[in-house]
Structure 1
């Protein structure tokens, strides 16, 4: 008779669909990487994020290859989802990671890092019109929406919306201002990677902000010559696979063809309808 299978390395506790709470179920010691190990190296071993690793923190979070040690009380007080998730009782025999509960999030570290920094570093993500960056806004908006951090969701949505003017006067000011950085009208600029335009549409859909989509589709159309069939086949942005839904691919194709037929030469003002101010 073969020997019984060893217990799994981790046990998944009851959880909601958005994150898994894990505890060490074996008796072997949990080894974490040294503080000197840099995040973003080619190694797949999880690495500590130094400005989000607090020695007196009482919860360890992993996202991708990034490890964070923060304060669960602070998370629970700001996030209804974390409050429910952290309240799950831990089995008495479960081992902890450096004495702390261990939570593994399914979200990418490029979103989790700015999200946690915005919570634990008050000056990292200030309200509009403070200048910021696309990836910071997206991380705070996605996870603020997903994990019920309402103040952060609202703040990030104001920032995000500033890059997608919805009136003709706003559009004119956006288009004719210098493109070398934020301004009083918009707090961020798109990264050079044109695939960021695809991610912007995905995020607008995810957080239920459809009023931003006309401008978002227009921006994508302007960069169609750079993206080519990646608009339909998908692309990689910041290590993430980004791909429009089938419905959004149809929307893009229809709008692009109609507007191209109506504008010969010059820049195409695709998907833009001039609303009354």
Structure 2
């Protein structure tokens, strides 16, 4: 018995409806939860901007770039799944990072102790634009922002700001966060090259001795904040994709994290340092 032809237009409409409903519910829930968790007990004022570009040695800005990048990356791939034409999927999906991150700045803009950050808005926009640029240029991601984290002693010095447990510290303790750009070297080489396609090279950025966001207050507490730069091998997890959707989805999610590996560090205080295994 012959099978009925697949109605691709109907499938596309159904998937778009699922995405739209899911996004609407999730987006609203995020805004409500964010307002309740972060801002409900804060003193509010009229909307204003606050220049925080000198704070945290800009590790927070790297975090905004990383977040917006992967939100936009997911937006593009979800629209592809829904059957949206390629260029529209890239351009519209690429806006997701900005759409998700901008409300945070709006909420911040009404807080008396700080305000909306132009630097954060720029980092969000650049993160989303970096996905769109790569997709338009190469039809794939060749330079993947990644994140790694290790606990530090600084969180115990100010747990209310840097986190009192592992989950909070992974989000708030900038001393333990490292942000990477993992380069898919093999994608830039000739297809006949013998370079292992699973091996990426990653450059990382972090900082230490940051307990207070204001540099002067931090220095007054006897802390000498400094930047750290890293070079490390990395796994191109997307190389290991197979036929299993569950396996491929797991690789997709894990690809935002830098796999622990040996690393070479440079900072102005200690010069070069080799880490046998760096998180």
Shorter-chain TM range is: under 0.3
Task: Give TM-score, length-normalised by structure 2.
Answer: 0.27
As a proportion of its length, which structure holds more strand? 2
As a proportion of its length, which structure holds more helix? 2
- Of the two structures, which has the highest relative contact order with CA contacts closer than 8 Å and spacing of 6 or more? 2
